[in-house]
Amino acid sequence: MIKIKAKVRMLKHQYDFAMDKGKYLAMVGGYGSGKSFADVYRGNELIRWRCSRGEYPVILVTSPTFRLLEDVNIPRFEAFMNKYRVRYTFQKSKHKMIIKSGTLKGEYWFRSAVNYERIVGFDATDAIMDEHDTLRRSEQEAVWIKVMARLRGAKDATLAISTTPEGFKQTHQKFVEEKIGRLIKAKTSDNIFLPPDYIESLYNQFDKLLVQQYVNAEFVNINRLAAYYAFNRELLIDKYKPVTQTILVGVDFNVDPMTATIAEQVFEDGRLMLYVYDEIYLKDSNTYRMVEQILQRHPGKRVICFPDMTGGNRKSSATFTDIVILKKAGFEIRGINNPRVKDRLNTVNNLFDKKGVKIVKTLKYLIRDFEQVGVDEYGELDKKNLELTHCSDNFGYLVFRLYPLMKRNTFTAQNI
């Protein structure tokens, strides 16, 4: 590593990733396994190595978005430099870091992978691609071509990927099927520096399939499966009589159909159980009719809505947006932005997997969605059948906001 006074403490998989000089290298790791820090260690080892041979290293670092570069990648590189007193300057307008510290000289060029057309105008000696498999497959192909075109700064240029495994995407293709280079696997449990309850929190918030992917760093194909693969009919009940004065309502604002799912939470056997006992499915409708249906079916109840938040822009009348109409009816609104589809599906599947919900079997539209909605090769909902997804979408808004995915804390229901 760089000649610094303090010793750099690395995990074995981080050390292997940092020191390997092969042309192609990949590390797939679970959440919290230390992938982003491994990028930093590798970058600085490459600078040390190339400078020792009289070369001038130029290292391209990609991350899926500029937001991730600015929030995660660049701060971690800067933190390393500051901690070990490596002198550098950062040109923010170019997203470029210049190292000038004793015998160490070189550059980092930080680029967004989704804006791959901007990966131009320089020759790199090495490339590090962070969270590569979170990109769509079409984006991966384009980024790979752009990055390879930049690797003209050295005869022994290297390209390394660090990522969580996201199904059988390009990392699996290149390093498992085609075997172009070394593949390092890093389980979350391999990181001995994690807080004691971190791994437990991941087990709590992911179903069994996603534990294999996001904790054990295994390639798992969740694409082209049923979107709600953890659903089974053991979760269905014949009937249910509400016991609280509060109804929880997931709302999807499509005009045809406009749908809602009605549920309540009950503290049962030491945890909050979600009971889903009514659905509203209105053809060629509007939000005023939805409000009428909710009030007629559940009079005198406190109504908490978990809507599609794009309803803050869509109008059911010339004057009021859908969200405003719900508020004027006295309904409480929970939510700011819509979750990513992937996060919404993960949360619902985890609730199914943990058996935290019971659904009345007469809710035919919702159950039909759970059994028939699929995802495409990119993990996005398959919406070819226009009759599907509406009810499960509104259920997903409700569940995601009741049982949010957490990074450090346990997956715990929000008691309304």
Q: What's the pLDDT score for residue 255?
A: 78
CATH code of the domain in which 32 resides: 3.40.50.300
Q: What's the pLDDT score for residue 96?
A: 95
Domain that holds residue 180: 12-195
Q: Is residue 210 a part of any domain in this protein? A: no
Q: Is residue 333 a part of any domain in this protein? A: yes
Q: What's the pLDDT score for residue 316?
A: 63
Q: What's the pLDDT score for residue 58?
A: 97
Residue entry with tokens 């937001």:
67
Q: What's the pLDDT score for residue 271?
A: 87
Q: Is residue 203 a part of any domain in this protein? A: no
Q: Residues 244, 124: one domain?
A: no
Q: Which of 195, 218, 242 is the last residue of a domain?
A: 195
Q: Is residue 90 a part of any domain in this protein? A: yes
Q: What's the pLDDT score for residue 223?
A: 64
Q: Is residue 410 a part of any domain in this protein? A: no
Domain count across the chain: 2
CA angle 304, 306, 308 (to 5 degrees): 145
Element housing 368 (H / E)? helix 364-372
Q: Residues 191, 246: one domain?
A: no
Q: Residues 175, 264: one domain?
A: no
Q: Residues 44, 160: one domain?
A: yes
Q: Is residue 409 a part of any domain in this protein? A: no
Q: Is residue 384 a part of any domain in this protein? A: yes
Q: Which of 143, 170, 195 is the last residue of a domain?
A: 195
Element housing 259 (H / E)? strand 258-268
pTM (whole model) above 0.95: no
> Within 10 A of 267 (CB to CB), how many other CB atoms are there?
11
**DSSP 8-state code for residue 174:** I
Q: Residues 60, 170: one domain?
A: yes
CATH code of the domain in which 293 resides: 3.30.420.280
Beta bridge mates, 24: 159
**Beta strand spans in 94-195 (E):** 96-101, 104-112, 126-130, 158-163, 182-186
Whole-number Cα distances in Å, 20 to 107, 160, 179, 401: 20, 10, 16, 43
Rounded mean pLDDT for each run of 10 residues along the chain, 416 residues in total: 57 96 96 92 96 96 94 94 94 94 95 92 96 90 95 96 90 94 95 88 86 90 79 94 96 89 93 95 92 95 93 62 93 91 92 95 95 81 87 95 64 36
> Within 10 A of 14 (CB to CB), how many other CB atoms are there?
27
Q: Is residue 374 a part of any domain in this protein? A: yes
Q: Residues 190, 239: one domain?
A: no
